[in-house]
Amino acid sequence: MNDPFELWSYLAQEPLLWLTVTLVAYVAADRIAEAAHRHPLANPVLIAIVLIAVVLGLSGTPYPTYFEGAQFVHFMLGPATVALAVPLHANLGRVKRTLLPMMVALVAGSLTAILSALGIAWAMGVRGETLLSLAPKSATAPVALGVSEAVGGEPTLTAVLVILTGITGAIVATPMLNALRITDWRARGFAVGLAAHGIGTAHAFRVNSTAGAFSGIGMGLNAILTALLAPLVVGLLF
């Protein structure tokens, strides 16, 4: 057996270790969510993040080192976004019939997300770069990062806020919309996708396939609208 320290310093630098940790943590998180009967609070993304954060903390691994390995998973976000065209196409007839409700919901939801995030944080004393990083948080990650940079936020902080927003949406949507007795899967999915992007969409696909398809549309459209609205809103307010 070679020197264990040398072995560790080799493994810690290679992408293989952190890629494996990411997948194993996700499989474990998914099992935990399953064991909790898919309770909304047992969100697999949240559990996986906590598991990996603990491993990084215990091993003293900085985030950039971890990301070297995990970037292969992160990369797949791009093709997955493109792949949303397939369920969108499968729901073409429905999409055509609900074009107007979607447009109205999109503008209402997108503006609400940007203004209420900035308003609540501002009222609670958040200022500067941290505040501006909140503006695009309902948009999907690649969009939000670009917008954050454009409005003077901190892109890596925005990335975290985007993920936390998605987890929040996935946790609150089902109990809240059930309590309100909203049975229209199109409306439910669309609103979740626009407010909570891909994580909301992943959750919506697990609940109902129509909700998932509409969630994907909501996410795609809000990505475009946030890219246009957030710089405008920030320019007017600050």
Partner 1 sequence: MIRNIAILLAFQLAGETLARGFGLAVPGPVIGLGGLFAALLFLPKLAEAMRPTAEGLLAHLSLLFVPAGVGVTAHLATFAENGLALATALVGSTVLAILAGVGAFRLTARLTGGDVDE
Q: How many CA atoms lie within 13 A of 54 on its CB side?
A: 6
Which among 8-16, 34-42, 64-72 is the span making contact with partner 1, rule CB under 8 A? 64-72
83-142 residues in contact with partner 1 (CB under 8 A) are: 83-90, 92, 94, 97-98, 100-102, 104-113, 116-118, 120-121, 124-126, 130, 134, 137-138, 140-142
Closest CA to 36 of 47, 25, 49: 47
Q: Distance between CA 206 and CA 199 in Å, rounded?
A: 11
142-171 residues in contact with partner 1 (CB under 8 A) are: 142-143, 146-147, 150, 156-157, 159-169
Name the minimum Å distance from CB 145 to partner 1: 9
> Residues 6 or more apart from 1 whose CB is under 8 A from it?
none
> How many other CB atoms are there within 10 angstroms of residue 8's CB atom?
12
Residue of 42, 56, 233, 237 that binds partner 1 (CB under 8 A): 56
Chain-centre distance of CA 48, in angstroms? 14
Name the minimum Å distance from CB 3 to partner 1: 28
Q: Distance between CA 133 and CA 5 in Å, rounded?
A: 39
190-229 residues in contact with partner 1 (CB under 8 A) are: 190-192, 194-196, 198-199, 201-203, 205, 210, 212, 216, 218, 220, 223-224, 227-228
